[in-house]
Every structure is written in C-alpha cells, then in structure tokens.
Copies of this chain bind each other. A is one copy, B any other.
C-alpha cells in the first residue's frame, strides 16, 4: 500500500520552502527556492509545481500525494486570496488556492502564516494534545494564531487573532498599519530595535550597540549583545518582556488557554525574554489563572517548522 503524504508550502517574501510530509510529521523531501514575486504569480506556481513533481519522482518510497497546504502572509482563510501583502509584489487579491489547485491538480488549502504556526504546534509541536492555546510568532512583526476547543479561531471574516495590533499605549509608536501603539511596535524584532534606540537616547551607559546605525541593527545582534551582558540590550529585553507580559495577562483573560507558545527569531534570547514576560504576566493575571498558564518557547525550530505547519493544514483538509 502506498504511503499517503501531503505537500506543505511556506510561501515567504524572500524564500519559499516546500516539503513532502507524512501523517507523523516526518519530512520525506524538502526544498527551498526564491519566491521571486517580481515575476507573475503563474510563474511562481509553475516553479512550485516543478519542485513538487521532482520531489515526488525522486523519492524512493511508494507514496501518494493527497493534498497541499500553504501558509503565506495575509491570506484570507475563507477565500484563499492573498490580500494587501506587504512583502510580495503580486497585486492584492491573488487567488492563491484556486490557481494553485488548477496548476497542481490536488486539493489546496491556504491560511495566513501565523495560523499555520498554530496548526504546526498543535499537530507536531508544543501544542500537541492541547485543545486551547495561543501561539505568538515574534519575527519582523508579531503574528498570532489561537486554537479554541481544538480548532483555529477564525472569526467572522477569517481575520481573528490580529494580536499584533491590539493597543499597548493610545499615543504610542507609529505602526505600519496606520494605528499608534500596536503591540508589534514593541514586541517583535523591529519593536525591540526601536526600544534599543529609545534606551540609547535615555541612558548614558556604554553599549556595543552605540556603534550601529538603525538600519544596520538587527534583532539577532540585540539578542547576542544581551546574552553577552550588554546593559542596553539586556534592559531592552526586560522592557519588551514586561510589555509582552502585560498583554499575555489580557490574552489569558480573553481566551483562558492552557498554554501560550512563543516562536520566532526573538525567542532565541530564551529566558532573557521569558523571565520578565512571565513575571509581569503573573502579576497582572486575574487570580483564577495565577500559576496555571504555561508560557513556553516553541520546540519546533529549524527551516522545516513552517512547512510542518502547512502540512498540518493539508492533513486537516484531507481528513475533513
């Protein structure tokens, strides 16, 4: 009997990753290629199809591909369209699922990348066996996926869980979205960079970060500096963690989750981020929740993680 597998696709602004994944989350084949969104979307789909076909042909196992899951920025879960993508050059409204089904000849389901992260945690990561949890991805921005009673929280238009854009301070930092004081302007790689610059202005203590321009500075450099004991970088993580912790307490009041799982580049700082976040969350928690909420960093790491999440979506498509 053939082994059933799905295709998991992580469509990103720069690179696209694609893998063949079995029901247990084992990756049988994996490829990465340039998204090149300056070329037409049809061109992207042909290249994607080519990679899938080659992976299927060259695998030594006897497999049957049953469905495709795609995680991409700004996908509307219900329509399968990519709407106003900030980091892709295709026009808004590209019919991702419809066109991909036509090109690939398999059932395709797509959702936004933060939802995919939540599905990946549920099937193969820290959310395994959990029915109620929240995933926050701390990358360039702050993405979020919420699982309620074992299913993705989608809301009326498939746009629920925009936690990156809840308000921290009414007249706070300007956000890309046009609002002020959104959570992701504080808690993300970009957010901590802005915090470092604020602290470099406020404090007089020496720091290796004083030698870097705003455009040079990255979240990784801040993490490295903090781990090496740099005072500004360390304070930036406390500042970030305390704001995150305040909002984690709100997230718990809204959703009563079993756990909150953090993933993304900023979590490489480990306890530098986790410790102030957890402390502030516990201080601000409604008493019924105190000491009961797991706050952890995702164990799903490496280049396969988003592909596994997309594969989880594909399995959901196939089994329902």
Contacts and interface: CB of A to CB of B under 8 A. Distances in A.
A2 B263 CA distance: 57
B246 A177 contact: no
Nearest to A288: B159
Nearest to A160: B256
Nearest to A181: B284
Given A148-B148, A246-B167, A155 B255 contact: yes
B159 A289 contact: yes
B286 A155 contact: no
A204 interface: no
A170 B169 CA distance: 10
Contacts of A163: 253-254
A166 B256 contact: no
B256 A158 contact: yes
Contact of A286 (B154, B179, B289): B179
A284 B153 contact: no
Contacts of A167: 246, 249-250, 284
A273 interface: no
A164 to B, nearest CB: 8
A244 to B, nearest CB: 13
Given A179-B284, A179-B286, A286-B177, A253 B162 contact: yes
A132 interface: yes
Contact of A254 (B131, B149, B160, B284): B160
Interface string A170-191: 1000000111000000000000
B132 A155 contact: yes
Nearest to A292: B157
Interface string A113-144: 00000000000000000011000000000000
A32 interface: no
B178 A287 contact: yes
A156 interface: yes
A253 B166 contact: yes
A165 interface: yes
A101 interface: no
A126 to B, nearest CB: 15
Interface of A: 83, 131-132, 146, 148-149, 151, 153-163, 165-167, 170, 177-179, 246, 249-250, 253-258, 284, 286-289, 292
29 contacts: A131-B156, A132-B156, A132-B160, A148-B148, A148-B155, A149-B151, A149-B154, A156-B256, A157-B256, A157-B288, A157-B292, A159-B288, A160-B254, A160-B255, A160-B256, A161-B253, A162-B253, A162-B254, A162-B256, A162-B288, A166-B250, A166-B253, A166-B254, A167-B246, A167-B249, A167-B284, A179-B284, A250-B250, A254-B254
